[in-house]
A and B are shown apart, each in its own frame.
Chain A
Amino acid sequence: MLVKLTAAIAVLVGTLVLAACGGDGGGLESGSGDTDTSDIPTAQGGEPSGELTISNWPLYIDKQTIPNFEQETGVETQYIEDINDNTEFFGKLRPQLSQGESGGRSIIIPTDWMAAKMYDLGYVQNLDKSAIPNVEENLIPSLQSPSFDPNRDYSVPWQSGMTGIIVRKDLAPDITSINDLFDPKYKGKVTMLSEMRDTVPLVMKADGVDPAEATDQDWLDAIDKIEQAAASGQVRDFTGNDYADDLTRGDVVAAIGWSGDAVQLQADNPNIEWRMPDEGCMLWTDNMEIPIGAPNTPAALAFMNYVYDPEVAADITEYVQYVSPVAGVKEILTKRDPKLANNQLIFPDEEFTADCTIQVSPEDEEGVTEAFETVLQG
């Protein structure tokens, strides 16, 4: 018995001793940080052919677009829905990206802040704009010049959405503000998003802090408030899209959630409704990018161009029911489905989103992220 215990310890110690020898630690040791922007390659356009792999969020495309694209261009397209969370996707892909590999993907579709972060780390290529004329022509004005990519050099919007409160109006009719989620009346019946840049800024807004001006301390204060609610059981859980089942079953009466989901949930349960919080919502856009080391950039650019054809964009929005970045979609959908065209969640007007804030990142990203993650892990 003692032999076995010794053997066990020997193996563990031996492994650690071996750790002293050995050379390169691999991709982790390469420094990261802001890359010299003149070094960033530009993805070239050209005649599309061959194979294409796209990574996107689940259920974010209609059933016809990919087959139609394949037919029109002859490009064999593999569409993978493996993005469930920006940070998790980044974490999964990062080791390869730091080596200049994209794991075979030619298009990835992260949210604004992650799109920017990846570019700053040198993991994303610039785009050959001559290959995407439809984008130049049809991108709606409000998305043409975001702060992180003023010339849209490397990102092309896919869909936009709003984060607000999704409510069971039969069980919690009076919830209209994020602060209502902290009401003890709803203890254990409320969920928040695990996406830090949705949850924390909303809590800040409810307390009168503008996320765009917030200091790191403001972020940490909001996280403290959330932490107390989490530990006490006021907040039942931190979710991704899985607030959907909680709401449908009635386990949860109010969740911080995304606009497109609510439209879908209503089909299964008309009592579910997305509400614009009193203090405003968060606005975000998911963006198509071409990662470093991506194969077949001509096909990737051709795809980006394809989905900016208003007819195609209308197909996508009709199914996905988020906000389209392509001009002309509303007109097309008005003829197909007037109810959809008049839905504020899909075609919001200026007034509707007056108090909404575009997602931002804190300055001490790492410290704040770690503080938030600690809350999520109990």
Chain B
Amino acid sequence: MKWLKDHALNIYAGLAVAYMLIPIGVIALFSFNNPQGRYNFTWEGFTLDHWKDPFAIEELTDALITSIELAIVATLIATALGTLIAIALVRYEFFGRKASNFLIVIPTATPEVVIGAALLSMFLLPPFVDIISLGFPSLVVAHVMFSISFVVIVVRSRLIGFDRSLEEASRDLGAGALTTFRTVTLPLLMPGIVAAGLLAFALSIDDFVISNFNSGTTVTFPLYIYGASQRGIPVEVNVLATLLFVVTAIAMAFTVWQQRRAEQLASVRPAE
């Protein structure tokens, strides 16, 4: 009985984690399915065929590539802009600070369907209709827009817990403000910026609602899936989704391993 009490929390955590991973298991499982027709809903037999050629469907592969390109561009822009805003909001007291704070937060409180529709109504009017064409450009604009707020929130929380003494030490040693920023602040801030960037990337790759309104004829990965869900999702979609998951898992494992190594190396001291 005591064993149960002691380990209740762990058992619970195990069950909860399993719950989180069930759908991923199902998706991966059905990537090995061998359906006779177009529809991949019931198990019909195991095959590795679709894994051997996951890029068989050209439109699907194009959509995935488009999504990745879009996510990279949007992430770079959003992370840069958002980091600057976060620094301004945390480090400086200025007129309009509260209003800016408010403006940053409002997009996160706005339902995606509203943002998507509003953006579309604007993109169709001059001068926007001539400058930003409905397609990849409008998608970049939209994705950067909804990512900035999240980048600010993440970087800001990192900045708030910052140990200023290192910066002060740098200034004491004669470094100018910009140099200090470049050589001390920014590197220390990097984990937060990277985290924010990863979040922006994930949000962009996954976005469906806002993209649905603003994509023109461009097809992103989620948009392809939405269309295909009406007519039978090809097994290749499951394969690519599983691949995406595995690649991200490896990337995360790599960053964690790197972090650990960095910590270990940092703790190595030359012999006294």
Contacts and interface: CB of A to CB of B under 8 A. Distances in A.
A335 interface: no
Interface stretch (B34-42, B184-192, B259-267): B34-42
A84 B35 CA distance: 23
A278 to B, nearest CB: 28
A33 B41 CA distance: 44
B37 A265 contact: yes
Contact of B41 (A11, A81, A245, A261): A245
A96 interface: yes
Nearest to B212: A92
A79 interface: yes
B121 interface: yes
Nearest to B213: A92
Nearest to B135: A104
Contacts of B102: 4, 7-8, 11
B230 A241 contact: yes
Contacts of A241: 230-232
Given A104-B135, A264-B37, A268-B44, A82 B227 contact: yes
B168 interface: no
Given A248-B42, A268-B42, A78 B230 contact: no
Nearest to B233: A245
Contacts of A205: none
Contacts of B49: none
Given A26-B124, A80-B219, A104-B217, A242 B230 contact: yes
Contacts of A4: 98, 102
A349 interface: no
Interface in A69-87: 78-82, 84
Interface in A89-111: 92, 95-96, 99, 103-105
Contact of B125 (A8, A24, A57, A244): A24
A55 interface: yes
Most buried by A among B41, B227, B230: B230
B230 A264 contact: no
Given A59-B232, A82-B227, A96-B134, A265 B219 contact: no
B129 A99 contact: yes
B99 interface: yes
A173 interface: no
A268 B39 contact: yes
Interface string A27-52: 10000000000000000000000000
Contacts of B230: 58, 84, 240-242
Given A4-B102, A26-B124, A267 B227 contact: no
Contact of B232 (A7, A55, A57, A264): A264
A185 interface: no
Contacts of A27: 124-125
Interface in A209-256: 240-242, 244-245, 248-249
Contacts of B120: 95
A103 B41 contact: no
A53 interface: yes
B229 interface: yes
Contacts of B41: 244-245, 248-249, 268
A320 to B, nearest CB: 11
Most buried by B among A11, A27, A58: A58
A258 B223 CA distance: 23
A268 B43 CA distance: 10
A3 interface: yes
B99 A103 contact: no
A79 B129 CA distance: 24
A99 B42 contact: no
A269 interface: yes
B131 to A, nearest CB: 14
Interface in B198-228: 213, 216-217, 219, 223, 226-228
Interface in B107-144: 120-121, 124-125, 129, 134-135
Contacts of B135: 104
A76 B242 CA distance: 32
A264 B124 contact: no
Interface string A54-72: 0101110000000000000
A4 B41 CA distance: 50
A61 to B, nearest CB: 11
A244 B41 CA distance: 9
Contacts of A84: 226-227, 230
Contact of A59 (B38, B44, B134): B38
Contacts of B36: 267-268
A178 B134 CA distance: 43
A7 B101 CA distance: 11
A79 B59 CA distance: 8
B39 A59 contact: no
Given A104-B135, A240-B230, 12 more contacts: A7-B98, A26-B121, A55-B217, A58-B231, A59-B232, A81-B227, A95-B124, A104-B216, A104-B217, A242-B230, A267-B36, A269-B42
3 cross-chain pairs, A with B, having the tightest CB-CB distances, nearest first:
A267-B37, A58-B231, A268-B37
Interface of A: 3-4, 7-8, 11, 24, 26-27, 53, 55, 57-59, 78-82, 84, 92, 95-96, 99, 103-105, 240-242, 244-245, 248-249, 261, 264-269
27 contacts: A8-B102, A26-B121, A58-B230, A59-B231, A80-B59, A81-B227, A82-B219, A84-B230, A95-B121, A95-B124, A96-B124, A103-B134, A104-B217, A105-B217, A240-B230, A241-B232, A242-B230, A244-B39, A245-B41, A248-B39, A264-B39, A264-B232, A266-B37, A267-B36, A268-B39, A268-B41, A269-B42
